[in-house]
Copies of this chain bind each other. A is one copy, B any other.
Amino acid sequence: MADQPQRVRERRTYEKFQPPKRVLLGPGPSPVEDRILEAMAAPVLGHLDPLFLGCMDDIQGMLRYVFETDNRVTIPISATGSAGMEAALVNIIEPGDEVVVCIHGVFGERMRDIVERAGGKPIVVRAEWGHAIERANIEAALDSCKPRALAIVHAETSTGVLQDLTGLSELAHERGALLIVDAVTSLGGHPVGVDRNGIDVCYSGTQKCLGAPPGLAPITFSERAIERIHARKSKVQSWYLDITMVEKYWGDDRTYHHTAPISMNYALREALRIVCEEGLEARWQRHELNHRALVAGVEAMGLEMNVAREQRLWSLNAVRVPDGVDDARVRARLLNDFNIEIGGGLGPLKGKIWRIGLMGSGSTRENVLLVLEALHSALNEEGFRCSSGVEAAAAVY
């Protein structure tokens, strides 16, 4: 075919893309502050430019603060949160390894899938979607095998459930297993306490409670985890996510591995600066307060939360869709009439819950009152009569 004349596909003209400013109250991405958007518009540096290396150091320092860890290897993976999950698992697991995987939503299922793709054997502990995993079941699963790791989701984005991490590291470590925690929807909004909770590998995404756009996956490895990785008999199956190489680029060696996404790192740095300015405790308190106000409003409307009080995430609120109400149509009304994005349910919860995210800079009094008012209006338009939750929510503040 090479001797044919060069054929080039017809080129079209495309308009400039001008997205509106949505109120992002779904399961993520969360609203991004202008400061962070502007940071991405800064000139691109080379990935080995001394000035960019300084930017990387700052990011690592701030990530240690946010993860509450002294771990040396604390970096952003150059891909989105799901790649953080994959990096956590494929670096630790070798073919044949048994891994206790806790499943109570989409992201636990995804962990199981990745464990299998890495040649591991998942030993599954389940809870019904909308409930936390019970500690006794975890212990029994750990005792039923020779676990390489215990993998659990701290904040199940698909259900709005917060998993208590207390004591899990002891359960795991006593049996020679590493504790791997998914903190995608909790980091920066809930205490995660990597060192305090004895977590060996913890990963997150930038587009939830950290308030940056999606594109990077902050991750941290304990020295115990790093030793484990260096003791592997086989290479990590993913070249791109191989932390033994990635750590050399982010560490003192500065060895070229791949070209880091420069502008995304600018965004993360600025988002982390905002976290540092606010302070973690103040940020947690803000997330909790706005969550409580939303719940008060939702319940005053006669709607029900899908998760028991003591297991609720502050960052993601699962509200039951009332009988007879069309989930998708209400969400479309919110989007089209109010410019508000909220999420629908996934898997067994599809059509049954709405997922209202109050994450990062989206967790504000204004947004709580706005989404309650919009939901009230949309439900009434749908013929579902309910009172406004705004007053009850405002009373919380």
Which A residues have a C-beta under 8 Å from some C-beta of B?
A: 1-2, 4, 6-14, 16-22, 24, 26, 28-29, 31-32, 37-47, 49, 51-52, 55, 58, 61-62, 64-65, 68-70, 78-83, 86, 110, 113-114, 116-118, 165-167, 169, 191, 193, 195-198, 205, 207, 213-215, 235-240, 256-264, 266-267, 269-270, 272-273, 276-277, 279-281, 335, 341, 346
Contact of A9 among B44, B64, B263, B270 (CB under 8 A): B64
Known: A22-B43, A44-B32, A51-B20. A9 touches B65 (CB 8 A): yes
Q: Across the interface, do B237 and A237 meet the contact criterion of CB distance under 8 Å?
A: yes
> Cβ of A28: which chain B residues have Cβ within 8 Å of it?
259
Contact B117 A14 (CB under 8 A): no
The residue from B39, B44, B346 contacting A17, defined by CB atoms under 8 A apart: B39
19 additional A-B residue pairs with CB within 8 Å, beyond A2-B196, A38-B41: A1-B169, A6-B281, A7-B193, A9-B70, A17-B269, A19-B43, A19-B51, A28-B259, A29-B46, A29-B259, A32-B43, A37-B42, A40-B40, A80-B261, A82-B258, A110-B239, A117-B237, A214-B259, A215-B264
Interface centre among A61, A166, A215 (most CB of B within 10 A): A215
Q: How far is the CA of A64 from the CA of B55 in the complex (A)?
A: 35
Least Cβ–Cβ distance between A86 and chain B, in angstroms: 5
Partner of A191, one of B6, B13, B207: B6
Known: A20-B43, A118-B237. A263 touches B259 (CB 8 A): no
- Beta-carbon nearest neighbor of A191 in chain B: B6
Known A-B contacts A80-B259, A117-B235, A259-B28; A11 and B280 likewise in contact (beta carbons under 8 Å): yes
Q: A213: nearest residue on chain B (CB-CB)? A: B263
Docked-complex contact B240 and A19, CB < 8 angstroms: no
- 6 of the cross-chain contacts (CB-CB < 8 Å) are A17-B55, A17-B266, A29-B45, A38-B41, A44-B214, A215-B262
Bound form: Cα–Cα A260–B281 in Å = 30
Q: Does A19 contact B37, Cβ atoms closer than 8 Å?
A: no
Query: Are A239 and B117 in touch, CB under 8 angstroms?
Result: yes
User: Which residues of B sit under 8 angstroms from A17, Cβ to Cβ?
Assistant: 39, 42, 55, 58, 266, 269-270
Q: Are A46 and B22 within 8 A (Cβ)?
A: yes
Residue among A1, A110, A167, A214 facing the most chain B CB atoms (10 A cut-off): A214
In the complex where A17-B39, A82-B239, A276-B12 touch, is A22 in contact with B2 (Cβ < 8 A)? no
Q: Contact partner of A24 among B44, B64, B239, CB < 8 A?
A: B44
Which among B7, B55, B258 is the interface contact of A68 at CB below 8 angstroms? B7
Instruction: State which of B64, B110, B264 has its C-beta within 8 Å of the C-beta of A261.
Output: B264
Chain B residues with CB under 8 A of A258: 80-83
What chain B residues lie within 8 Å of A261 (beta carbons)? 80, 213-215, 261, 264
Tell me, rounded to whole Å, the shortest Cβ–Cβ distance linking A199 to chain B.
11
Shortest beta-carbon distance from A52 to chain B in Å: 7
Our pick among B83, B259, B346 for the contact of A81 (Cβ within 8 Å) is: B259
Contact B16 A273 (CB under 8 A): yes
Closest B residue, CB atoms, query A168:
B2
Tell me whether A114 and B260 are in contact in the complex, defined as CB-CB below 8 angstroms, given that A2-B196, A17-B42, A213-B44 are known contacts: no
**Complex formed: what's the CA distance from A29 to B264 in Å?**
13
